[in-house]
Structure 1
């Protein structure tokens, strides 16, 4: 699916946070908010800027929205969550990461984080950084018993004790990966031709650029 919207990009970026609206929308999608926040944390921590039409496919499909109005409202809600996670990742990262005693929440967060991190091709090619993603996958209980090995390659004899130990370090891991990729992030450069004011708007609205996102 290639998801499109006629919403003004600036409106998306400035979407206000309404926690009740976000929770209601995620409930409609059958999605846990902790998983969603983990997904966006992994997505936003990585080395590349992932386009909206790529990461949004984890949330919606062709049947999610009946018309462009509900589609725009849904996108604005998701962008509000995206902006909220992005702000907290930079300013209050401890508010994103579940407490080590909240076992199910840690599992959901780590499961989402792995999905978000996996969208980054550069991340998957970095062995050191990706080893921590494997730790997240084990915390999320998404790794088969035959693959349960630590960083040294030794078999994990007591998976539950191992998970408890690493849940206690989860905030440190999330912070380390955020900082690791922040130092290595390559600035995004424009590669496509600039859209002319009389060209069709690339958002897919069918309007001219000057009458749509170019206003």
Structure 2
């Protein structure tokens, strides 16, 4: 196990190493690549319900069914360590400095935009009730990922508009659920990473939708606090 802090971001060399490990012949093409993995872990980290590695790791090895587990070995253990470290970093990044978020595909053409967005959408299936409710209340938040996940061309106007919307959508989704995560952490006695100011029912919603709080996230926050 690496002695590096679990919140240390992966280096460029470690991203490349992880991509190679996930492409190993023993995984028979079933595993995610790094592009898909980072989109997937972004959605997992955004969820207001904490999702344990035991729930998301099987999907890394088998992106189609989330069932096949590889045989234990040094390579799979190393890939697991790197993936979990990246997940831990994503959680902290979105909690402490979400406005600086950027997807990995903005760092170089070697990372795939459609794969990243397909991974993001797959990550939303691990907490279906929360994401389904968000899709109803704020469908425009999910629209960029839905468009790009199946895009065959990335240089047309619609694709470029969707790409411009990915980062703002991640930041907006994070803001929409920040209060829910805060309430869960407070209720469980866990350490709260950041304070979220109380929102009055007639105030603008903390998620940034522009709607009044009582018409937007109030019911979801109340349900979370009651659990």
TM over 0.5: yes
Report the counterpart of residue 124 of structure 1 in structure 2: 132
Unmatched 5+ stretches in structure 1: 1-6, 144-158, 191-215
Q: Distance in 1 between matches of 2:107 and 2:161?
A: 9
Distance 1:83 1:168 in 2: 26
Q: Residue 35 of structure 1: CA displacement?
A: 1.8
User: How far apart, CA to CA, are the structure 1 residues paired with 2:105 and 2:147?
Assistant: 16
Distance 1:168 1:15 in 2: 27
In 1: Cα distance, 2:92 partner to 2:173 partner: 16
Give the number of the structure whose alpha-carbon radius of gyration is greater.
Answer: 1
- Distance in 1 (CA, whole Å) between partners of 2:137 and 2:177 is 12
Indicate which of 67, 71, 83 corresponds to 1:78: 83
Q: 172, 175, 186: which one pairs with 2:171?
A: 175
**Cα distance in 2 between the residues matched to 1:105 and 1:71:** 23
TM-score w.r.t. length of structure 1: 0.61
Cα-Cα RMSD: 3.6
**Relative CO higher for 1 or 2, CA cutoff 8 Å, sep ≥ 6?**
1
What stretches of structure 2 of length at least 5 have no aligned partner?
24-31, 63-67, 189-227
What is the CA-CA distance between 1:63 and the residue it aligns to?
A: 5.0
**Structure with more helix by fraction:** 2
Distance 1:70 1:55 in 2: 18
Q: Is the 8 A contact 1:129 1:177 kept in 2?
A: no
**Counterpart in 1 of 2:157?**
161
Please give the alpha-carbon distance, in whole angstroms, between the structure 1 residues aligned to 2:160 and 2:89: 28
TM-score when normalising by structure 2: 0.58
1:133-164 deviation digits (Å, cap 9, x = unpaired): 24311122269xxxxxxxxxxxxxxx942222
The equivalences for 1:55-204 within 5 A come to: 55-60=56-61, 62=68, 64-67=70-73, 72-90=77-95, 91=97, 93-96=100-103, 98-99=105-106, 105-121=112-128, 122-126=130-134, 127-141=136-150, 160-185=156-181, 187=184
Alignment of 1:7-18 (within 5 A): 14=6, 17-18=9-10
